[in-house]
Amino acid sequence: MVILINKEKNWTSFDVVKKTKNLIKEKFNIKKIKVGHAGTLDPLATGLLIICTGKLTKKISEIQNLHKTYSGEITLGGKTPSFDLETEIDQKFDLINITEDQVHSVSKEFLGEIFQKPPLFSAIKVKGERLYKKARRGEKVNVKTRKITIYNFEITEINIPKVKFIINCSKGTYIRSIANDFGLKLKNGGYLSELTREKIGNYSLNQSLTISEFEKNLMRDIS
């Protein structure tokens, strides 16, 4: 089974997998079932999370390789260690010289194949340990850059300091890093203040269910 979940804010991807697994085990009265997700969403992000169960967990790597589409918001004038609102703003910048033309111009610099440095606050493993654990201890780690592809980067609304966007990108793209780098290219600061995953390949958010909706559907089938 492939389940399309609309992940809500403050849920981790692991939380969704665990909840989905428990609901399925309860419904079908089974003790074991393989359940996994095809691409992590940060706790503060919302949107499409694809859950695969049973034999279809073999499709996870295939789904992870699909292009992804996100909508979101970058807030200029500040920086955070996590590149989003998981951590507090630790640097502030004057916004007086930033223009809308500059914002549109900078967005075009991201198009195509680029090298991106993932956030230190990420789930990437270095020597067997998640980077975010090292970051929370204040350890300094040299994070290697990765080659990614940005297929489309559209600025949909500008209301300085807020910049709304839609982006279509390859596997492995960190939108938080895009937000941080966006600020740097403006000789300013930027962090991700909102993020929603809209699509993974041809799988779309408007086809998905929240966890509570998924649970109600399962319970309805039982009764």
For residue 66, the Cα-to-chain-centroid distance in whole angstroms is 14
Whether the upstream peptide bond of residue 119 has omega within 30° of 0, thus cis, is no
Helix (H, G, I), strand (E, B) or coil at 123: coil
Task: Report the length, in residues, of the chain.
Answer: 223
Helix (H, G, I), strand (E, B) or coil at 156: strand
Tokens of 120: 């230190």
Which of the following is catalytic: 42, 94, 101, 221? 42
Tokens of 141: 């780690």
Helix (H, G, I), strand (E, B) or coil at 64: helix
Is the distance from CB of 7 to CB of 18 less than 8 angstroms? no
Catalytic residue check, 94 = no
Q: CA 116 → CA 29, 171, 175, distances in Å? A: 45, 12, 10
Catalytic (active-site) positions: 42
